[in-house]
Chains A and B, each alone.
Chain A
Amino acid sequence: MQKITEKHLAEKAKDLLSQGKVSAVLGWRRGEFDYDVTPALFTDADEIENGLVYNCFCGANLSKYLVSKIRAVEGRMLVFLKPCDTYSINQLFTEHRVDREKVYIVGIPCNGMADITKIRNAVGEGITGVSGDECLRVETLYSDEPAELCLADVMSERCVNCKSKKHVAYDELLGDEGEVLDSHRFDEVERIERMSPDERFAFWQRELSRCIRCNACRDACPACTCEVCVFNNPASGVESKAPVNEFEEKMFHIIRAFHVAGRCTDCGECSRVCPQNIPLHLLNRKLIKDMNECYGEYQAGEAVGGVSPLTDYTAEDGEPGDLIRRRDTDA
């Protein structure tokens, strides 16, 4: 298998730009440190040569940027998408938020993204350099010897349970196609389900009480592309800028989970960007798991078009009580 590095990405981008097939490239730009890469739009070859980066810190899902960035560009925009990002873009196509014709998708492989917080916890403060891919060499201010970390040990939570290495949308693929994985991604949800109601309540109370309502989860979420979010709209009745109390904390996250239900591709951006490390993806996954169990397997963004479980029904659907009761008997 050919190993795909940022060199390949840069070559591909410059190639397509020079051929005039695309007029801009959406990728990741090198930062101050090795780990602080930023999504960026490139329009010339030099910038790409110097700035474009692809490493295990390119977690940011670029698909959402297309909703706004694509308007600024004449012609097609090249976007580099990791397998899980391609699900998001498909969902955006389905919802007519991005015009397929204006996007040129280059699928790139992903071996899992690192979580800098986990690295920091492992090696301490003062990280001055991170290199390598499967095995990471971490240099710090306070140690002469670089620390060696296995990517698997410091992987983002969402990548630990990667659902798919397969690109579901692309115009071109760099590297080999992967497969949909049996991710065990619902294990954690099941663990919470098995708790007693009091334990569950305490668990979520503890997690959600840390919320500072910075809206990073919402603003990074590729399903949250509303023109006006209900939480910003005073007329909606739920508008609020602060997690004023426990109720507000829950309300925000329940409603957000609902608004993306059936549309959430489980890309995990919400949890990645949370400055408080709240496992927000466990709310979305719960809904995905429930919908899968009750209404048949459904993966949002697997294909363009079609109906999602909440915009569909059958006469034989179970009653709300059945679902909860069934879980009780299972437990």
Chain B
Amino acid sequence: MQRIGVFVCWCGSNIAGTVDVKQVAKALESEPGVVFSTDYQYMCSKSGQDMIKDAVRDHRLTGIVVCSCSPRMHEATFRKTASAAGLNPYMVEIANVREQCSWVHKDIIIGTQKAIILGRAAVAKVNLNAPLTPGESPVTKRALVIGGGIAGIQTALDIADAGFEVDIVEKKPTIGGKMAQLDKTFPTLDCAACILTPKMVDAAQHEKIRIFSYSEVSSVGGFVGNFTVSIRKKARYVNEDICTGCGACVDKCPMKKVPNEFNLGMDNRRAIYIPFAQAVPKVATIDPNACNMLKNGKCGVCAKVCTAGAIDYTQKDEYIEEKYGAIVVATGFDPISLDKFDEYAYNNSKDVITSLEFERLTNAAGPTQGKLLRPSDGKHPEKIVFVQCVGSRCSSCSEKGKEYCSKICCMYTAKHAMLTRDKYPDTEVYVFYIDVRTPGKSFDEFYRRAVEDYGVKYIKGSVGKIVPEGEKLVVQGSDLLNNRQVVIDADLVVLAAAIEPDKSARPLATMLTASMDTNDFFTEAHPKLRPVESPTAGVFLSGACQGPKDIPETVSQASAAAAKVIGLLSKDKLVGNPCVASSDELMCNGCSSCERVCPYGAITYEDKEFRMPDRTVRVRRVAKVNPAVCQGCGCCTVACPSGAMDLRGFKNDQIMAEVDAICK
């Protein structure tokens, strides 16, 4: 049985004005468990708190009920008071007799009656309270960033600058991501490589940053502060530590016809290759699907020419296990496949290209050394049609397109159109648009310049079909403003393909137990207030893996995620919320209902041996709640059919006792 002290606060006249506090204190004195009951002008004042401390000592109180303002105001205060008096802070309950009573009810009789009932409910609850101790878990002061694009690089740099070790895992042979493939960046038109490559170098040279390129995460265990991650370093058949990146092997490799993925297959590379000149790490990688030596043991030229002796055909995939306190997902995006959009003839004509391909075509380091030439015949295109919203905002064709707006296409299309007109003023440039969406600093001005200063012809409407005819592409579209159908004989068509999360994100989300939306973008812990955190504690989101983003947005989110990680890693220990769910394994059926509704992936299962009453041993699957991950919503308690799952601090019997007390 508890020994409960009741403290009724006057809050000056705030409560005492419409609640007879003396009567409340007196009425609650006779409640079961109550051994002391009093009232005071300001319970939250120092003398009020001292009064509580004295009463705890004098009356050997085990529980406290404060009838005062909202617990959202002073629950923490009184918990500290209890703590100072040697009580467990969770033995305190607040009856909210100010916001819910004196402030909303004018009549003192009614107010007093209700205050007594609210007090009674709090007493009933405290009678069933149990001391709670928040779990503590140590924090591994290292972070993992998954994805080495601009988002991952920025996050890693910020975390490392704060003094924490960071590992970047990048699945490609080099970091840099999509931004490395871009030519210029909107709206300022500075060259992507010029602003990105210094950051790549910074990351490579940072003493706190390790880059695992050509690597993938293969499994994730543990929880916030204590993740264990297994990283698969794919065999690149080149000893990274020795390779100097001189490129001699690349020059001599006889396998010359391997499509170059960095240039989206618009030119070729060798079987041993360095993706691009500024690659980080600048080491060669052998493509095992193209290399003759690896495929049938014939060749070995690269090993012969490598003076450093870095080539190692026997290299195997290597698994590295590391511990981290925080994980940042920065897996980025990809343009969608356009295979299913027959009307655009993407698969029928080399001269129908995506915007990313266009970036490579105009990039000085691209397949045409920056000259805008048609992929089919290398001629200079005179009429170019840009088509926006290809696969975006597509609500009826989920199997081929995306329902959302890809956000960045309007701006890069304006950029492409403008740059084309700038470099080749003789070119006619058309842009088919549905809406031009340019919210962002200097964005609309940028688009207007394309129209007004560069004479790009924007047509409000869509393209219905593109038919290659001879050297031309016949583009049939609608011009809605003039209510006519237009036909343009174009030389080149550029499709602004929708973007989607990288394909590796889904399996990664499963490993991380991080939730995703229906489009496979990672879900935020709160769409407004916690936009860079995943609902899974310790997992943070950076860049386009969370939703379509342009570079400035990506970088700011990357830094924001870093700030959250730094906040987490600067703690020595994580003190959990003790009001977490816990499962009574004797009653648990192991049915997985709770796991399915847990937004945090806090529930796992284990097979446990039970000694049955008849002395047999039975192995049963039971749920386990990780208190460091559980946030205490209690959703699982209702999903649980057997009632094995309960929520500390808001236990079933506590809530039902409150119901009883109120309905008494």
Contacts and interface: CB of A to CB of B under 8 A. Distances in A.
Whether A and B touch (Cβ < 8 Å) is answered with yes
Interface of A: 71, 94-97, 225-230, 233, 235-237, 259-260, 263, 307-308, 310-312
A279 to B, nearest CB: 22
B642 A235 contact: no
B656 interface: yes
Contacts of B586: 227-228
A230 B639 CA distance: 13
Shortest 3 CB-CB distances between A and B: which pairs? Answer: A95-B591, A226-B642, A311-B596
Nearest to B605: A96
Interface residues of B, number: 22
B593 A311 contact: yes
B197 interface: no
Nearest to A262: B593
B589 A310 contact: no
A235 B128 CA distance: 12
Contacts of B643: 228, 230, 233, 235-236
B596 A307 contact: yes
Contacts of B589: 95, 97, 225-227
Query: A97, A259, A307, A311 — which one has the most chain B CB atoms within 10 A of its CB?
Result: A311
Nearest to B597: A311
Contacts of B644: 227-228
A96 B642 contact: no
Query: B586, B596, B642 — which one has the most chain A CB atoms within 10 A of its CB?
Result: B642
Nearest to B612: A71
Given A229-B642, A235-B653, A236-B652, A96 B621 contact: yes
A221 to B, nearest CB: 11
Given A96-B621, A235-B653, A227 B587 contact: yes
B641 A260 contact: yes
A226 B596 contact: no
B513 to A, nearest CB: 15
Nearest to A229: B642
Contacts of A227: 586-589, 620, 642, 644
Contacts of A263: 641
23 contacts: A71-B618, A95-B589, A95-B590, A96-B592, A96-B621, A97-B591, A225-B589, A226-B587, A226-B641, A227-B586, A227-B620, A227-B644, A228-B642, A230-B643, A233-B587, A233-B643, A235-B643, A237-B652, A259-B641, A263-B641, A307-B596, A311-B597, A312-B596
Contacts of A94: 592
Nearest to B590: A96
A194 to B, nearest CB: 31
Given A226-B641, A307-B596, A311-B597, A237 B656 contact: yes
A80 B586 CA distance: 31
Contacts of B639: 310-311
A286 B652 CA distance: 27
A227 B618 CA distance: 12
Contacts of B621: 96
Interface in B609-664: 618, 620-621, 639, 641-644, 652-653, 656
Contacts of A311: 593, 596-597, 639
Contacts of B593: 95, 311
Contacts of A236: 643, 652
Nearest to B607: A96
Interface string B542-584: 0000000000000000000000000000000000000000000
Contacts of B587: 226-228, 233
Contacts of B618: 71
Nearest to B653: A237
Nearest to B641: A259
Nearest to B591: A95
A71 B593 CA distance: 23
A174 to B, nearest CB: 31
B591 A96 contact: yes
A311 B603 CA distance: 14
A52 B644 CA distance: 39
Query: A95, A227, A235, A263 — which one has the most chain B CB atoms within 10 A of its CB?
Result: A227
A260 B399 CA distance: 35
Given A227-B586, A228-B586, 6 more contacts: A95-B593, A97-B589, A97-B590, A226-B587, A227-B589, A260-B641
Nearest to A312: B596
A95 B622 CA distance: 11
A235 B644 CA distance: 10
Interface string B319-335: 00000000000000000
A226 to B, nearest CB: 4
A331 to B, nearest CB: 30
A95 B592 contact: yes
Nearest to B621: A96
Nearest to A306: B596
Contacts of A228: 586-587, 642-644
B583 to A, nearest CB: 11
A72 B652 CA distance: 35
Nearest to B619: A71
Contacts of B590: 95-97
Nearest to A231: B643
Contacts of A233: 587, 643
A95 B656 CA distance: 29
A229 B642 CA distance: 6
A307 B590 CA distance: 15
A283 to B, nearest CB: 16
B127 to A, nearest CB: 14
B645 to A, nearest CB: 12
A308 B587 CA distance: 22
Contacts of B642: 226-230
A227 B586 CA distance: 7
A166 to B, nearest CB: 25
A22 B643 CA distance: 36
Query: B590, B641, B643 — which one has the most chain A CB atoms within 10 A of its CB?
Result: B641
B261 to A, nearest CB: 36
Contacts of A259: 641
A227 B643 CA distance: 10
Contacts of B588: 227
